[in-house]
Amino acid sequence: MALNAAERELLDGIDAGELSQLLQELVRRPSPNPPGSEEAVARFLAETCRGLGLRAELEEVAEGRPNVYASLGPAEAPGLVFLGHTDTVPAGEGWTHPPFGGVLEEGRVIGRGATDMKGGIAAAVMAMAALQRSGMALTGAVTLAAVIDEEETGLGVRALLARPGFGALAAIVPEPTELRTIIGCRGNCYVDVEITGRSAHAGSPEEGRNAIYGATRVVEAIRRLHDGLADRRHPLLGAGSLSVGMIAGGTGTAMVPDRCRISIDRRLLPGESGEDAQAEIDAVLASLDLGGDGLGASTRLLMEIPSFALEPGHDAVRRALAASVDAGAPERPVAGWTAACDGGYLMRHAGIPSVVLGPGSVIEQAHRPDESVAVDEVVVAARAYALYAARLLGHVSP
């Protein structure tokens, strides 16, 4: 739909050069996780937000690992939350550009985290700056929660949820969706399985109980369990999945191994929990009767990101889709995401309707060498976020 005069004035306050410079500076402050090095980028982000006229504070979640909370509008009134994360995966190998150089080349900012998700954070900051500069009266707070540890165990979002009085009318998670409105995500959990046996000299293997042999049986059973998940499909998100990602066992070639650990990634659907997934794996272990071979097995749930889904007709979906298209994003149907994100925590633990909408591609750019994002796409995201906030909280009709 056509923008009204107040909306045009608001969006005119978003400058591509200013936004690009902010994104480049965010990329130039490495925040790889592991090991969890978000402090430098968090402090820079808080200082930048204060310089733009926003309220900003740091919350130390773990030593040297602060969440950033920046906001404007009435602090006591629930409004809109942008939920981002300041950590990135490590740089890895294979780069042809400096991974933390923040190079601007052919309209794209290049560097680790440019897409996942410092581009989305920069867009949220500049959307909030535009709202601040416009002088628009807001009926609720607009808040950026830039949390730590999304790439690993979710320490940051859990600290956010524990804040007294935390709540919002709606949330946008600015993960890289190619500016498509995502209304549901699969969740994720990690389950470790430990197989125990008995050591012996490899020259007399019958005197031992080989934990690695037991682990091979478990791996095959997990593969069969994965195949069975194909019959349990969600209409938006498809099927869940299981993947064995790591195996570690044994002490030396000349010894029968007495321990072997298997690490499993389980992708979750709405209504499934990490405890459910762990119980399924426990049932598989029981069916193998490893004890009959003198082996033991135990499981441990390491982390969980909840799955979530909104109905396509939900008000939060309608508003996000309209704002993105009016801001210049391609008009496409809403969709689901096979990746997991922190929005599931907001839905399950705080009842906040959440959509995922951001610049860049999780498939083509995130976690890859020479990760990059188009500045033009980040600008469209910033415009969409500003429109969404203004229409939700600023007496601007959608």
Q: Which two tokens stand for residue 355?
A: 């959509």
Q: What tens digit of pLDDT does each residue of 24-50 get? A: 999 999 999 999 999 999 999 999 999
Q: Which of 38, 149, 150, 304 is catalytic?
A: 150
pLDDT band at 398 (very low <50, low <70, confident <90, very high): very low
Q: What tens digit of pLDDT does each residue of 101-125 get? A: 999 999 999 999 999 999 999 999 9
Tell me which residue of 299, 293, 285 sits closest to 210, measured CA to CA. 293
- Tell me the residue ranges of DSSP E strands in the chain: 55-62, 65-72, 80-85, 103-105, 108-110, 142-147, 170-173, 182-185, 187-196, 233-234, 238-239, 241-249, 259-268, 296-305, 308-309, 335-337, 354-356, 372-374
pLDDT at 169 over 70: yes
Residue pair 189/196 in contact by the 8 Å Cβ criterion? no
C-alpha span between 112 and 34 (Å, rounded): 14
C-alpha span between 56 and 124 (Å, rounded): 14
Q: What Å distances lie between residue 336 and 2, 89, 139, 186, CA to CA?
A: 28, 23, 31, 8
pLDDT, the chain, mean: 96
- Tell me the residue ranges of DSSP E strands in 102-251: 103-105, 108-110, 142-147, 170-173, 182-185, 187-196, 233-234, 238-239, 241-249
pLDDT band at 2 (very low <50, low <70, confident <90, very high): confident
With a pLDDT cut of 90, the percent of the chain lying above it is 97
Buried b (16+ CB within 10 A) or exposed e, 251-289: eeeeebbbbbebebebbbbbebbbeebbebbeebbeebe
C-alpha span between 232 and 338 (Å, rounded): 15
Q: What tens digit of pLDDT does each residue of 254-292 get? A: 999 999 999 999 999 999 999 999 999 999 999 999 999
Q: What tens digit of pLDDT does each residue of 336-394 get? A: 998 899 999 999 999 999 999 999 999 999 999 999 999 999 999 999 999 999 999 99
Q: Which of 7, 59, 87, 151 is catalytic?
A: 87
371 as an active site residue: the answer is no
63 as an active site residue: the answer is no
pTM of the predicted model as reported, rounded to 2 decimal places: 0.92
Q: What tens digit of pLDDT does each residue of 3-15 get? A: 999 999 999 999 9
